[in-house]
Each structure stands twice: as C-alpha cells, then as structure tokens.
Amino acid sequence: MSPVNKIHPTAVVSPEARIGENVSIDAYSVIGPEVTIGDGCTIGSHTLIEGVTSIGTGNRIFSHAVLGSIPQDLKYHGERVRLEIGDGNIIREFTLINPGTEGGGGVTRIGNGNLLMGYVHVAHDVIIGDHCILANAATLAGHVVLGDHVVVGGMTPIHQFVRIGDYAMIAGASALSQDIPPFCLAEGNRAVVRGLNLTGMRRKLDRETIDAIKRAYRRLFESGEAIRDAANEILENESRPEVRDLCQFILESKRGIPFKRKSNAQ
C-alpha cells in the first residue's frame, strides 16, 4: 500500500489487495485479496469489496456498499467471475453490485462518471455505460444493458435482459419489462414509451440532430405504421448516426418496444 493512503486502523484490507495512491478507506471496511482499487478513491465506512473486483480511479464509494459479492443466481457454483468499475463514479450508501456469471459472460461492467444513489441494486452480468444516473432503490435484474447518459428514476425495477439506449429516461416508480430505444422517455407500470427525453438530449445534442430524431420518432411511434417497417425505411434514407442508432436498436430488440399503437385510420 502507498504511504500516502489513509486507511482507518479498524479497516480490514487484505495484504494481497492492490491499492493505488491517495486512497481513503474508512472504519470497519473490508477489502478482499483479489480487489484492485485505483488512485484517488474514497471508501466509506462498513463497506465490503470482495471477489475479483477492479475499481478505477477517482471513485467515491459511500458507507455500507457491497461490491463483488457472489451473484444472486442459483446457477452460480463458485466460478471465477468479475466486477469491473471504471473511473469517477459515485456509489452511494447500501448499494449492492454483483459480478457476472459464467452463463452471462462472466462480468458485470460499470463505465465512467455514473451516479448510483442509495439502495441501488445492480445484478449479475449487467452492463452500464457512462454518465448514467440510477436514483434511489432502482433495481436492475441480471443481464440488463444500459447505454450512455441513461436516467432511471427511483423505485424502478427493470426486468432481466432488458436493454435501454443512450439518453433514455425511465420515470420513477415505473416497472420496465421491455427495451427502451435511445432518446426515449418511458413511464408507467408496465412502462411504455411516452415521448422523447428532450431535456437530456438538449444537454449534449445540437438542434439539427434533435429535429432529425423528432421526425424519426413521429414516424416510428405516431404514424400507425408497423414500427419495424418504419425503422427499415428510415435506415435506407438517413445518414445521421443518432437516428440510425435509434432505428437499429428497434430492429435488434429481442424483448420488444412498449408503446401505444395508433390506428392507420386517422
């Protein structure tokens, strides 16, 4: 361990753990032998980090978080699996993040700059991109995939194998069991697409791109046309990558897209 680290005397840190520089580990935390913690991380009191867990630089992990404990999956029988966390994440109190399983690729991966609020659960084999926000008690089941800049409201459960595209937002107290395409806003129990996440889009995208996404959205969800047919036709004529990503996501969806269909007879 680097002499510049601040390790509380009651913390239990395995001598085999790899700890970077300028790391703070507070009272009664436990760090296992196969854990790697990058430079500049802070670990709150009573935190447990175990298993084959790699944590990047500049992460803030608050008290009573549990990272890397074995998957909550009855098919797990002690295989060597991993949890990978990137840089600059904030992981708040009582968050639980499990590693992957052999059947799901063996890794749970969280990107950079994410905020996981209190009591969030990230299950086995979940993939989270960059700059996502998971509000209090959001619950991601196994094999869920989130893109970048996704927002999940508090008290929202997400079914296993669901995919959520970039810049999508899921409202609080929803229950999501199908895929939500990029840039879309979903709400309800069961959650359905209600519109576009314009607030999130305006933070990062230019006006022309947003207008192109609006046109595609109206064609896909409001024209009454079959959604896959509309997506294929848009792809044939649209070069803008954001619109193409939206259509490609729809065509690749395995769980389907939840939205209220409109009749062709208007």
Cα separations in angstroms, 175 against 128, 204, 247: 18, 27, 24
8 Å CB contact between 256 and 179:
yes
- State how far the Cα of 45 lies from the Cα of 175, in Å rounded to an integer: 32
8 Å CB contact between 112 and 94:
no
Establish whether 87 is a catalytic residue.
no
Collapse the DSSP code of 78 into the 3-class scheme (helix H, G, I; strand E, B; otherwise coil) and give the result: coil
Establish whether 124 is a catalytic residue.
yes
Catalytically annotated residue among 46, 124, 131, 149: 124
Cα of first residue to Cα of last residue in the chain, in angstroms, is 69
- State how far the Cα of 154 lies from the Cα of 196, in Å rounded to an integer: 19
8 Å CB contact between 136 and 155:
yes
- What is the chain's length? 266
Catalytically annotated residue among 125, 148, 179, 245: 125
Establish whether 142 is a catalytic residue.
yes
- DSSP string for residues in 226-257: -HHHHHHHHHHH---HHHHHHHHHHHH-SS--
Q: How far is CA 103 from the centre of its chain?
A: 20
Catalytically annotated residue among 20, 44, 58, 142: 142
The set of catalytic residues is 124-125, 142
